[in-house]
Structure 1
Amino acid sequence: MTSRPGREQTDDRGLFRGRHETPEENADRRWSELMQEIRVAQTGVQILFGFLLTVVFTTRFPELRSADRTIYVITVSLGAAATGALIGPVSFHRLVAGRRIKPHAVVWASRLTFIGLLLLLATLASALLLVLRVATQASYVPWLVSGLVAWYLLCWFVLPLWVRRRYTNPHDDGDEGKDGG
């Protein structure tokens, strides 16, 4: 086993073996990493949600077909839910700060973030469906949106899970790869 900077350990095959840190250090690091990740997602979902809220006030909105209005309502609802889930960890931290339960807070905040990402995926799919239907009225739109959703799934979930499986030591019982890790 070899040591890397930051007290990380690897085995003979170069597989990550974990860090030598206290539970408090681990929770602090995991929380910090999670907050950095959430900042990226929060910004995107807030901008998207803000634009979605203004659509109803445009002059073209009354001309939308009933199906497109339904898609709009679903999209705004999904955007609101995604915003709530991705901002939730910030409120969570504020309400539990100083209670010495950070490891638990990290797990729950991580779960909220994952749900927020799923809701963001659904919001993007719904928004793309609406915009492309209104812009083109083409029959291929659902197929195009399905392809884009598949791309998001590949980038956001399939590839990271494949890398995690490929490069994680099966005998490692550390918290990396679990909720918040």
Structure 2
Amino acid sequence: MDERTTSGDGRPARIGEDRTGGDPRRNEPNERERDQRDEGDQRRDERNENDLERADRRWNELLQELRVAQTGVQILFGFLLAVVFQPRFAELGELDQAIYVTTVVLGAATVGALVGPVSFHRLVSGRRIKPEMVAWASRLTIVGLVLLYCTMASTFLLILRVVLHDALALWLVVLMALWFALWWFVIPLWARSRTSD
């Protein structure tokens, strides 16, 4: 018994014609396929990459940045740990020893923040949340850079106080702190604001 069907525009459907509007013999996409294709195109940016491809690229870029930062942190933290075993450390006053302890704590916190993205990646790997992981790793890296900035300033203060023994040490530390802040934070944020506009 022949059953009559209708196509998407209300007319009787021909044999082999898709009811949703596409014709399989002509390889024409139906309405649902066109919507899915449009949605996929909208999720691609000017680099012609989807969300997962963008997350992979951002993660690789972040790894390169972390390698640079972690190398500096390791050298600095190793220096700080060695200072306490030097004979002259016992000659430091209470204020200088307090600055040293603060510097070591800041250095340890910096290591924790900058190594955090690696641990984060390992613990959530395979959970299919890479875009979210990259966002969290980026935040941890920014926290690590701020802590590294504080560690550098505190280290400069400790060294210059021991070497100079006068108020010039504080002014030099302020000058260097402003120099670091200019290139690490001010100029990048200024460039970011111009781009967003």
Moved over 4 A (4+): none
Q: Which has the larger radius of gyration?
A: 2
More strand by share: 1
Matched, 1:79 2:142: no
1:151 to 151, 155, 179: 179
CA distance in 1, matches of 2:120, 2:75: 22
Q: 1:165 Cα deviation (Å)?
A: 2.1
Give CA deviations for 1:120-170 in whole Å, capped at 9, x if unaligned: 00000000000000011121211111111111110001111112222x253
RMSD: 1.1
Structure 1: unaligned runs, 5 residues or longer: 1-16, 171-181
Where do 1:13-162 residues align within 5 Å?
18-162=46-190
Q: Which amino acid aligns with 2:64?
A: Q
TM-score, normalising length: structure 1:
0.82
% same residue: 62
Structure 2: unaligned runs, 5 residues or longer: 1-44
Relative contact order higher in (CA < 8 Å, ≥ 6 apart): 1
CA distance in 1, matches of 2:170, 2:72: 23
State the SS of the aligned residue for 2:72. Answer: helix
TM-score, normalising length: structure 2:
0.75
CA distance in 2, matches of 1:128, 1:47: 15
Q: How many residues align?
A: 153
